[in-house]
């Protein structure tokens, strides 16, 4: 049982994340994707970004935690949600873009590499992937959760030939320059 499988931990995350959302990240997708495009969010958590994505796109939410999915379904019974592990992405569906906000740092580096490969397989044509990470170096563990910190250079070593990197941008979530987002485009010949 993982940390986010417990209702109590889910509610504690919801309280901690109050006042934060991924509007600036979603705007980056809005600049590059036609309205109505299909977008899959990985690790949606409380679903604030899913609601923002749904303003412009046909958005599908997903998480590995049934507790987060249940919580969102309670208030949004018609939402399109999938229970998905971001490592394996076991669905036959394809999307124009895949999005996550502070999720993939929970994976081991080898799992992140696999996730990128699986994402490429679930994207249409030259689909986009946009993901945010905590900036830095090293790995920490808190409450049994892994936190892997990345720089643009260390992420470049994880992204495989299935993607070309469109942009990698440092930004601030809590402390100056504590985060970065990575925008990938599926390669035609990966």
Ligand X SMILES: C[S@@+](CC[C@H](N)C(=O)[O-])C[C@H]1O[C@@H](n2cnc3c(N)ncnc32)[C@H](O)[C@@H]1O
Query: Footprint of ligand X on this chain (CB under 6 A)?
Result: 4, 17, 22, 42-46, 49, 63-65, 68, 85-87, 101-103, 106-107
Least distance between ligand X and beta carbon 51 (Å)? 11
Closer of 104 and 184 to ligand X (Cβ): 104
How does strand 145-148 pair with strand 139-142?
antiparallel
- Contact by Cβ (8 Å): 103, 43: yes
CB 168 within 8 A of CB 183: yes
Q: Which is nearer to ligand X, 42 or 128 (CB)?
A: 42
Residue nearest to ligand X (CB): 45
CB closer to ligand X, 121 vs 161? 121
Tokens read off for 72: 């969102």
Give the shortest CB-70-to-ligand X separation in angstroms. 12
Query: How much is the CA Rg of the chain, to the nearest whole Å?
Result: 15
Q: Which is nearer to ligand X, 26 or 184 (CB)?
A: 26
- Minimal distance, residue 154 CB to ligand X, in Å: 19
**Shortest reach from residue 23's CB to ligand X, in Å:** 11
Least Cα distance to 122 among 100, 101, 91 occurs for 91
96 C-beta neighbours (distance < 10 Å), count: 20
């Amino acid at each position: 049982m993982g940390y986010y499988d417990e209702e109590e931990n889910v509610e504690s995350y919801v309280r901690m994340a109050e006042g934060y959302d991924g509007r600036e990240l979603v705007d980056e997708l809005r600049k590059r994707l036609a309205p109505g495009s299909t977008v899959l969010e990985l690790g949606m958590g409380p679903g604030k970004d899913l609601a923002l994505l749904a303003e412009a796109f046909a958005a599908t939410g997903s998480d590995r935690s049934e507790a987060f999915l249940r919580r969102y379904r309670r208030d949004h019974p018609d939402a399109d949600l999938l229970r998905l592990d971001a490592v394996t992405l076991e669905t036959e569906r394809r999307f124009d873009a895949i999005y996550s906000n502070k999720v993939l740092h929970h994976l081991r580096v080898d799992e992140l590499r696999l996730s990128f490969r699986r994402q490429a397989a679930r994207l249409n044509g030259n689909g986009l992937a946009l993901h945010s990470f905590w900036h830095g170096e090293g790995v920490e563990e808190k409450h049994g959760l892994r936190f892997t910190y990345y720089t643009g250079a260390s992420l470049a070593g994880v992204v495989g030939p299935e993607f070309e990197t469109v942009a990698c941008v440092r930004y601030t979530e809590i402390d100056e320059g504590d985060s970065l987002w990575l925008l990938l485009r599926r390669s035609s010949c990966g």
